[in-house]
Amino acid sequence: MSIANTFYNVFVKRNSVYVTTIFAGAFAFGVGFDLGVTSFWDRWNQGKQWKDIRHKYVEAESD
């Protein structure tokens, strides 16, 4: 039993399962993709964004 057959039997065989998987996958993808892009963006722009320098000024306020 190859991976392809397992995939077919688990997800595709019943259309209801297939469509549900697609929509659940779309939801998971939306969240995951957002997280992934954001983490890449934050790494790429490290030290430049407001959230990277915010702590300096918030601490200064509470002093």
Partner 1 sequence: MLSRLPQGALKNAARNVNASRSAVRARFASTTSGSSSAFQTFLNSRAALASATLATVGSVAWYAHLYGSLPFFPEVHANSPAEEGLHPPQYPWSHKGLLDSFDHASIRRGYQVYREVCAACHSLDRIAWRNLVGVSHTADEVKVMAEEVEYEDGPNDQGEMFQRPGKLSDYMPPPYPNEEAARSSNGGALPPDLSLIVKARHGGPDYIFALLTGYTEPPAGFEIRDGMNYNAYFPGNAISMARVLFDGLVEYEDGTSATTSQMAKDVVTFLNWAAEPEHDERKKAGLKAVILFSALTAISLYVKRYKWSYIKSRKIRKCCLVD
Partner 2 sequence: MAAFQLSKKALSLPPTVRTLASGVPSASLLNLNARAPAHGDHHAHGEVGPRSDTPAAWASKISTTPVGLVSTNYASAKPTGVFQQRLVHTTAVAKDTPQVPDFSGYQAKSESTNRGLAYLMIGSLGVLSASAAKSTVAEFLGTMAASADVLALAKVEVELASIPEGKNVIIKWRGKPVFIRHRTADEIAEAKNTDWKSLRDPESDESRAKRPEWLVMLGVCTHLGCVPIGEAGDFGGWFCPCHGSHYDISGRIRKGPAPLNLEIPSHDFNDAEGKLVIG
Contacts to partner 1 by CB under 8 A: 33-34, 37-38, 40-41, 44-45, 48-50, 52-54, 56-58, 61
Interface residue with partner 2, options 15, 16, 26, 63 (CB under 8 A)? 26
Distance of CA 60 to the CA centre of its chain: 34
**Can you read off the two tokens belonging to residue 51?**
């959230």
Min separation Cβ 62 and partner 2, Å: 13
Residue 48, exposed/middle/buried by CB under 10 A (0-12, 13-18, 19+)? Answer: exposed
What span, in angstroms and rounded, lies between the C-alpha atoms of 31 and 2? Answer: 30
Contact residues for partner 2 (CB under 8 A)? 2-5, 7-8, 11-12, 18, 21-23, 25-27, 29-30, 33
